[in-house]
Amino acid sequence: MTAAVSFQHVSRHFGSVRAVDDVSIDIEAGEFFAMLGPSGSGKTTCLRLIAGFEQPTAGHIEIFGETAEGLPPYKRNVNTVFQDYALFPHMTVGENVAYGLMIKGMGRAERRHKADEALAMVKLEGFGERKPGQLSGGQRQRVALARALINQPQVLLLDEPLGALDLKLREQMQEELKALQKALRITFVFVTHDQGEALSMADRVAIFNNGRIVQVGTPSEVYEHPRSRFVADFVGSSNVLSPAFSRAHGGPAAWISLRPEKIDVLWPDAKIKDDHASAEAEVTAVHYQGAMTRIVAVAGETRLTATVTAQMASGIGAGERVRLQWPLKALVTMEADE
């Protein structure tokens, strides 16, 4: 089966800056694909290469088997939801949504009908006559979504679409986007710097750093088996253990990632379970976070963070001697990088 989007050794340089540096990737049709990375890592440039706003300096891009480089945005069956939504302020919501159809030359009545349908799909019935300026951020986001989907694109690109929304709304939109993608079966390519968003929504995640993809996989793959310290750090938080520390505590002599939620915090005289390693440590800080408590402790030279339930954390304060325990199979060996 042809990939929805295929990058083959694609680079995009701006002068001496390598925004995208030799990226190769296949995005499957119907997939919800997230591009995750810190700002300046090249993920947005990749999205713009798919949309056609940028042309690659080198390499080859295919969209459903068709060569994309050299093709202007208006000749691609790809639509974008912009970070700032980019709704046209001089048009009503309905005119904004129907813009793509108007450009194609569809009649006014039919256009209106389709725009109403698209607005209903994003739960904005009856908003067609308003101006974008009269809408809230969440509503504008939905209008941008309806406007992008009305052309029935083969691929929908979303550039940090939830970045400007508050937490509650963001969680709600995450669910709706996911449901919409399931219902429409359109390939979604989603750019975000929020790892929680990427993990909860995407079928697969590509993690970007310095213009390159450092790891691709399902959310659980990249979370459970980060291949490098960068991924371990960026996706969730992680304890990075040096080869020396790891070997001293029954692990392999390699850089290790250990997730904070895998660590139990016990009293120093507690019994250690089978197949577990442990280390004595001194608690330096306790951060109450509602459902969970984050405990920072130092074992020798190594700083370890554990996320435990409030129940397990009760009675533990800074300066306390504790025993940290973790299952040996929670240790993830990483390639030594950086």
Partner 1 sequence: MTAAATMQQRGSRLTGLSDFFFRRPGALTLVLLLAPLMWIGIVYVGSLLALLLQSFYSLDDFSGLVVHKFTLSTYAQLGEPANVDIIIRTATMAACVTVTGAIIAFPIAYYAARHARGPMKAAFYLAVMMPLWSSYLVKVYAWKLILAKEGIITWLAGETHTTWLLNAILGLPTIGGPSLSFSFTGTFIVFVYIWLPYMILPTQAALERVPKSYIEASADLGAHPRQTFWTVILPLALPGIVAGSIFTFSLTLGDYIIPQIIGNSRFFIGQAVYTLQGTAGNIPLAAAFTVVPMVIMGLYLMGAKRLGAFDAL
Interface residues with partner 1 (CB under 8 A) are: 51-53, 72-74, 78-80, 82-84, 86, 88-90, 99-100, 102-104, 147-148, 151
**Which amino acid would we find at residue 97?**
V
CA 42 – CA 35 distance, rounded (Å): 9
Query: How distant is the alpha carbon of residue 57 from its chain centre?
Result: 26
Cβ at position 34, least distance to partner 1 in Å: 20
Nearest Cα neighbor of 146 from 130, 172, 123 is: 123
Residues whose CB falls within 8 Å of the CB of residue 268, separated by 6 or more in sequence, listed in order: 280, 321, 322, 323
Nearer to partner 1, 145 or 199 (CB): 145
Nearer to partner 1, 184 or 240 (CB): 184
In sequence order, what are the beta bridge partners of 251? Answer: none
Cβ at position 16, least distance to partner 1 in Å: 18
Q: For the stretch 200-235, what's the b/e string if a residue is b when 16 or more beta carbons lie within 10 angstroms of its beta carbon? A: ebbbbbbbbbebbbbbbbebeebbeebbbbbbbebb
Nearer to partner 1, 84 or 166 (CB): 84
Nearer to partner 1, 151 or 174 (CB): 151
Cβ at position 147, least distance to partner 1 in Å: 7
Nearer to partner 1, 184 or 330 (CB): 184
Nearer to partner 1, 58 or 103 (CB): 103
Cβ at position 142, least distance to partner 1 in Å: 15
Nearer to partner 1, 79 or 195 (CB): 79
CA 52 – CA 47 distance, rounded (Å): 9
Nearer to partner 1, 80 or 195 (CB): 80
Q: How, if at all, do strands 78-81 and 155-159 pair?
A: parallel
Cβ at position 292, least distance to partner 1 in Å: 39
In sequence order, what are the beta bridge partners of 7? Answer: 25, 61
Cβ at position 166, least distance to partner 1 in Å: 22
Could you say which DSSP state residue 97 is in? H
CB atoms within 10 A of CB 191: 24
| Residue whose entry in the numeric block shows the structure tokens 């709304």 | 169
Are 317 and 283 in contact, with CB atoms under 8 Å apart?
yes
Cβ at position 84, least distance to partner 1 in Å: 6
CA 94 – CA 18 distance, rounded (Å): 40
Cβ at position 80, least distance to partner 1 in Å: 5
- Dihedral class, residue 302 (left if φ above 0, else alpha if ψ from -120 to 50, else beta): beta
Are 270 and 285 in contact, with CB atoms under 8 Å apart?
no
